[in-house]
Amino acid sequence: MRRVAFFDIDGTLMTGGPAKDAFRTAMIDTFGTVGDIEGVSFGGKTDPQIARELLSGIGYEVDLIEERFPLLWHYYAERLEHQLIRCPMQVLPGVSELLNTLGGIDDIGVGLLTGNIARGAELKLGSAGLTEHFALGSYGSDHEEREQLSRIALERARDMWNPSLQPEHTVVIGDTPRDVLCGLKVGARTLAVATGSFTVSQLAEAGADQVVVNLTATDKIVSYLLA
């Protein structure tokens, strides 16, 4: 395996779904509040980071947050699984064709690099019918800081595919400046896609090596991943 592509999920591969509602309900059931949920940006952050910011912002103590986190993620996954049945994720344009193409190229490994907790990612991918495309992943449940997830993803790719895999042989694909920073942090190349909340110019200013409007230009994107 000469190259590895690490994909973000929300805003990159798919959109919609009930995750925010499931998260809101789980927060209320676990902590009695969601905090200032409209005032905190979710973009590019890990699930634990979002929850901690919301709770710290209204004065919750660190020890109490840590104590109740396992229950929060249990409730969240339970509600997400139930709600995805009637409100499935929507695959973004070009994604299925790109993943199908990459699946037929032996030189490219395909993985996830996402702020979702692992169970949340599993449920979202299953809802969208994309599970089979990803051999490994790095998740918000692995580390709360997004920048650390690229290091974890690289280590797992080395263990699975190629011990000599270098950061420059990997591409981090996402829709937010935090995705770009996550890739740059480990020395990976970055491909930003403007299918989320950020514009092409904002993603370019964040330092992305390549920026595309969406993932429909399959041949162009594959060429970049193989370069």
Write down the pTM of the prediction: 0.95
Tens digits of residue pLDDT in 94-110: 999 999 999 999 999 99
Average pLDDT along the chain? 95
When pLDDT is cut at 50, 70 and 90, the band that residue 226 belongs to is very high
When pLDDT is cut at 50, 70 and 90, the band that residue 21 belongs to is very high
CA 60 to the chain's CA centroid: 27
What is the pLDDT at residue 41? 77
Specify the higher pLDDT residue, 68 or 35: 68
Tens digits of residue pLDDT in 194-224: 999 999 999 999 999 999 999 999 999 999 9
What is the pLDDT at residue 37? 80
φ, ψ (nearest 5 deg) of residue 81: -60, -45
What is the pLDDT at residue 1? 81
State the distance between the two ends of the chain, measured CA to CA, in whole angstroms. Answer: 13
What is the distance between the alpha carbons of residues 9 and 183, in angstroms, rounded to a whole number?
15
Helix, strand counts (H, E) of the chain: 9, 8
What is the pLDDT at residue 76? 98
Delineate the domains of the chain, giving CATH numbers in brackets.
3-16+89-226 (3.40.50.1000), 19-84 (1.10.150.240)
